[in-house]
Amino acid sequence: MNNHEIDYKLHGDDMQFVEVELDPQETVIAEAGSLMMMEDQIRMETIFGDGSKNQGGFMEKLLGAGKRVLTGESLFMTTFTNEGTGKKHVSFASPYPGKIIPMDLSEINGKLICQKDAFLAAAKGVAVGVEFQRKIGTGFFGGEGFIMQKLEGDGMAFVHAGGTIHKKELEPGEKLLVDTGCLVAMTGDVDYNIEFVSGVKTALFGGEGLFFATLRGPGTVWVQSLPFSRLASRVFAATPENGGENKGEGSIAGGLFDILGGDRK
């Protein structure tokens, strides 16, 4: 195996975090800002790229990091290495309510394609890159599904998503239409494209956008019930400045508005 073999434990239900157990000199990589807590004698280091062994020289690392910027992620990632003599633990938390999905890449032919903000952490050696869709329609009209992350290797990786997560196995030739924001991840053998929604009324008044992601089997797909973008847009629309009703100081909506920095007058 090229990846470090890490053990883990999930905690919580709808506000989950993952606790990773590191043997001496084992390392886990994570996106900046995902750390929740770590024990003593774990060394934290910022690296350029993802630290995978298949990265070449500086220019190749620079190109890979530049592609990550297109997905809205940082040029850098953070590694956590156990420099003690016994087992140590480091925990990572999701940035919003939802589920954390552990993925053993060795069981899915070494490749997972996921939404650009879904990656949380992985064993060192897992390559975190960008998956550019081959088809022109996907590139120009894909919206949230235009550029996706690509995780490659044979170790453990952890992705997070909002709401309830549904795993669906697609048979050869089976087709599934998914809102682009609700698509969390898929195995590398799934054929992925963007399809225009038929019917003018549906496109203009349906509220689901003009395009769907079309997924064709064989392969495995993970779908989320509450994308963060959908949650954020509803909260934004409910604020008083945007036409939402202010129901008073003691209301749930009012409290949430205060938390988000609203200014009551």
Measured in degrees and rounded to the nearest 5, phi and psi for residue 155 equal -110, -170
Look at the pTM and tell me if it is higher than 0.95.
no
Provide the edge-to-edge strand list for the sheet that holds 127-132. Answer: 127-132, 147-152, 111-114, 183-187, 219-224, 165-170
Res 26: pLDDT: 95
Mean pLDDT in residue range 92-109:
91
Distances 18 to 22, 90, 160, 167, 237 between C-alpha atoms, Å: 13, 8, 10, 19, 32
More confident residue, 170 or 56: 170
Among the ranges given (45-59, 107-121, 170-184), the one the predictor scored with the smallest mean pLDDT: 45-59
Mean pLDDT in residue range 218-235:
83
- Tens digit of each residue's pLDDT (9 = 90 or more) over 57-68: 555 555 555 555
Q: Is the pLDDT of residue 139 over 50?
A: no
State yes or no: cis peptide before 218, omega within 30 of 0: yes
Q: Identify the CATH class of 7-226.
A: alpha beta
Mean pLDDT in residue range 236-258:
58
Q: Could you tell me the residue ranges of all domains in the chain? A: 7-226, 233-259
- Tens digit of each residue's pLDDT (9 = 90 or more) over 19-50: 999 999 999 999 888 999 999 999 999 887 66
